[in-house]
Structure 1
Amino acid sequence: KPFTDIKHYILILKRENGVTWLDNFGETDDEKK
């Protein structure tokens, strides 16, 4: 199940960095506006 793997990967990033790639993408998108 690819979607489950993606969620697991996000949880790993969140645990290690304190943020998710979704948070980083949101910040980048805000800068472009």
Structure 2
Amino acid sequence: VLEMENEKSHYKGSECIECGACVSVCPVEALSL
């Protein structure tokens, strides 16, 4: 769980910063890229 939180935070401040609502989808999208 801690790992997921870490990744979420990383993407949240990177790309999800613009979205905000898709914070939970950010990590998945990033992994896809």
With the length of structure 1 as denominator, give the TM-score of the two structures. Answer: 0.48
Bigger Cα Rg: 1
TM-score normalised by L of structure 2: 0.48
Q: Highest relative contact order (Cα 8 Å, sep 6+), 1 or 2?
A: 2
